[in-house]
Structure 1
Amino acid sequence: MQKWVAQPSKATIVIVHGAFEHGGRYEALAKQFQADGFSVIHGDLPGQGHTVGKAGHIRSFDQYISTVEAWLQEAGTEQPVFLLGHSMGGTIVMRTMETLKPEVSGVILSSPAAGILNGAGKPLEAVSRVLDKVMPTLRVKSPMKPEMVTRNQDMIEKDLQDTLILDKVSVRWYHEFRRAIKAAFKDVSEFPNVPLLVMQAEEDQMVDVDKTKEWFNLVDTSEKNYKQWPSLYHEIYNEPEWKDVYQYTLDFINRQL
């Protein structure tokens, strides 16, 4: 876990990264928040980055929720806390809010995985359900390629050299992810009355844009905002237009403060 402390600090932002990646990919975003007076906490999720254990594997999605709970405890209660999740990190934040209902001042979801594109076909899906029971740690090739998540050529080149980005995930990981998405819809009524900002890349090749809208429309909160970014790919904070995305995020946070 990394902590970037601003002096003085207006609030703490807890960042939850997505599938295949790691917390270190958010250092530039964390530094920008810090420069604008916000402390930031981020880290590696189980099975990713520098964490101990089999890479690309989890026993249960609850491991992710417990990790975020620990980060929130580190953030403390002395100042406002905002929870920001990207992609699968968005799914983790959804489930964290629905199950733990932590005291936060706002939730920000960046291209959240309310539906997965490029999933297993029906024959492979059937086989994988069997493997989930008998060989859950079996790892399969990830469909993700850097050019699918951003149009930023510098970031693409950097990702191609990043040895911490996963190229394989386990059968159990895949099914726990799918089960968590279903649970996020099933328990949407449990989402607490917390200000919510959902930002979705319009040209997303990783998650289903329509499913993001569907989940957003089901959430019942006093304040919720949906922003779809034209032409942007999945990783909106890494796109050439990231400054616009960042400013939109900052405006939402400052309104809550």
Structure 2
Amino acid sequence: MSVWKWEAEGKAKAVVVIVHSAYEHHRRYVWLVQKLRNEGFHVVTGDLPGHGIEGVEVHAEAFKDYRRFIKKMIRTGLEYDLPLFLFGHGMGATFLMRLLQMEHIECAGVICTSPWLHLEHNPPMRAKMLTKWSPNTTVDHEITVDQLSRDPEFLEKFEEDPLYVPVVSGSWYRELQTLMKSVMQPDLIIQDVPFLLHTGELDRITDREFARRWAFAQNLSELQYKLWKEARHDVFQEPNREDMFFYTQSFMNNVLHSLGYVID
């Protein structure tokens, strides 16, 4: 899978690695990428294995392949020799949380949006039954665009996105359940790094309360938690995403200032 780099407009002050969620692809983040570039951030991202233009009809990828690709993106970001921020959405945020539990990552801060720690919207059959299926059993998670965002422009653009594939195998779904349970272990905490967590008040995909409890249990020196009123799962695809970007930009600039960088 290819790692994509977008250079900042003008002199760069930091790098942002973006890890997208399950089923989607990095092209859904074009607006965010451009906003970051305009504000002096290099951006590193790419499609997780089995996703995007080289995607599959049924997700059955091994989660270790996701981890390898995410670490590859992080290594690419570190090559710039600038402060590095990690940005993860949905399942991508969950992977970042797990990585920070298991390893020390040279990063200046972490931004997570709507992490998958406990799903509210499960496949049609009960998740407990699904995890007992054979590895070759497939099921449609049936996440629709109107569950992700209220924004009419987003709904029109991605209502029939051919690269959005929410169909998974039984083995894939079992690995997802294992990942979420692993992150929620009370005896594991992440490294002490500035952390910003965004959740949507009207998120019906994942339980935001699990994410909030997890974040405050980390005992971090610097933690910001923002619940966006009326927002759905994809908070950066919502009509008021400019406000969300400003909030995130302020967080990153404050972190950079604390590291001794002069921010214009």
Same fold (TM over 0.5): yes
Q: How does 1:166-181 map to 2 (within 5 A)?
A: 166-181=165-180
Distance 1:87 1:52 in 2: 18
CA shift for structure 1 position 55? 4.1
CA shift for structure 1 position 124? 4.0
Look up the SS of the partner of 1:190 in the other structure.
Answer: coil
Unaligned runs of 5+ in 2: 257-264
Distance 1:126 1:12 in 2: 40
**Corresponding residue of 2:64:** 62
Q: How does 1:141-152 map to 2 (within 5 A)?
A: 141-152=140-151
Look up the SS of the partner of 1:147 in the other structure.
Answer: helix
- Which amino acid is the alignment partner of residue 5 of structure 2? K
Distance 2:166 2:224 in 1: 34
Distance 1:148 1:255 in 2: 33
Q: How does 1:205-220 map to 2 (within 5 A)?
A: 205-220=204-219
- Give TM-score, length-normalised by structure 1: 0.92
Q: How does 1:38-53 map to 2 (within 5 A)?
A: 38-51=41-54
**Corresponding residue of 2:5:** 3
Distance 2:237 2:144 in 1: 15
- Give TM-score, length-normalised by structure 2: 0.90
Cα gap change, 1:55 to 1:35, in 2 (>3 Å): farther
The answer on whether the counterparts of 1:86 and 1:112 sit within 8 Å (CA) in structure 2 is: yes
Unaligned runs of 5+ in 1: none
Distance 1:30 1:125 in 2: 34
Distance 2:30 2:128 in 1: 39
How many residue pairs get aligned? The number is 252
CA shift for structure 1 position 125? 3.6
**Corresponding residue of 2:19:** 16
CA RMSD in angstroms comes to 1.7
Look up the SS of the partner of 1:204 in the other structure.
Answer: coil
Distance 1:9 1:34 in 2: 8
Question: C-alpha offsets along residues 59-112 of structure 1, whole Å, 9 cap, x if unaligned?
Answer: 2x2222211100010012510000000111110110111112211000000111
Look up the SS of the partner of 1:68 in the other structure.
Answer: helix
Look up the SS of the partner of 1:169 in the other structure.
Answer: strand
Question: C-alpha offsets along residues 5-57 of structure 1, whole Å, 9 cap, x if unaligned?
Answer: 11311100000101111111112110110011100011111121134666422
Q: How does 1:97-246 map to 2 (within 5 A)?
A: 97-120=100-123, 124-131=126-133, 135-186=134-185, 189-246=188-245
Look up the SS of the partner of 1:8 in the other structure.
Answer: coil
Look up the SS of the partner of 1:186 in the other structure.
Answer: coil
